[in-house]
Amino acid sequence: MDQWSAVDDYLTALLAPEDPVLTAAVRAGDEAGLPRINVSPLQGKLLHLLARSVQARRVLEVGTLAGYSTIWLGRALPPDGRLVTLESEPKHAEVARANLARAGLDGIAEVRVGPALETLPQLTEETFDLVFIDADKPNIPDYFRWALVLTRPGGLVIVDNVVRDGAVADEHSTDPAVQGVRRFHELLASEPRAAATTIQTVGVKGYDGFTLAVVLPTAD
């Protein structure tokens, strides 16, 4: 773990150096008592690059927290881009809105408050180029089903924290989060609308992983 963190620190200093807006976003979350579970700087940079790689103009995020990953994603969008981020906790949403305004993204990013399974159906008139899911793990399969509906063919769905310190391989786990990510992978294995892989990661966030899924065109 110490070595993982040392490598992350080295790479972060070179490839994702300290940014006053992002630093302020983390600090605002800490001051508001939000859990420090945001993505790492290198993971944020990855989200940014993935959004740029699909030339995203419209992004959907499930799970806002203080808006740290939202800022990384929002900075990848053109001036007329749109980012919708869903947050169940009003307190988190308030902190995120302030952070997005400080980042100059309040004209692009919209924070919607409420349980995601209630707010996702409100988005059926929209189509997104990239969806980032980083929310409560027991509901990940349902969030992913909605992502398949809302993402354009060729678009990208990213799901975070899906290895759970290796516990995803434990079929006997009683942890609802582990069982959620196991159901999610079982869904992926039989889902004809997406091509996907899951990658294990180590670093300052510990041992976990993420899933990348490309939404496939449907047959006419």
Question: What CATH number has the domain bearing residue 202?
Answer: 3.40.50.150
Range of the domain at 33: 2-215
Confirm whether 145 is domain-assigned. Answer: yes
Residues 6+ positions from 53 with CB-CB distance below 8 Å: none
Per the domain annotation, does 29 fall within a domain?
yes
Model confidence pTM above 0.85: yes
CA gap 158, 10 in Å, rounded? 25
Q: Is residue 220 part of a domain?
A: no
* 105: in domain: yes
Q: What distance in Å separates the CA atoms of residue 36 and residue 29, rounded to the nearest whole number? A: 8
Does residue 200 form part of some domain?
Answer: yes
Decide if 128 is inside a domain. yes
Question: CB of 40 within 8 A of CB of 204?
Answer: yes
- Domain annotation covers residue 12: yes
Mean of pLDDT values over 176-185: 98
Q: Does position 220 have pLDDT exceeding 70, yes or no?
A: no
Domain-embedded: residue 144: yes
User: What is the per-residue pLDDT across 30-74, written as a single tens digit (0 to 9) for each?
Assistant: 999 998 889 999 999 999 999 999 999 999 999 999 999 999 999
What are the pLDDT digits (tens) for 64-120?
A: 999 999 999 999 999 999 999 999 999 999 999 999 999 999 999 999 999 999 999
Tally of domains in the chain:
1
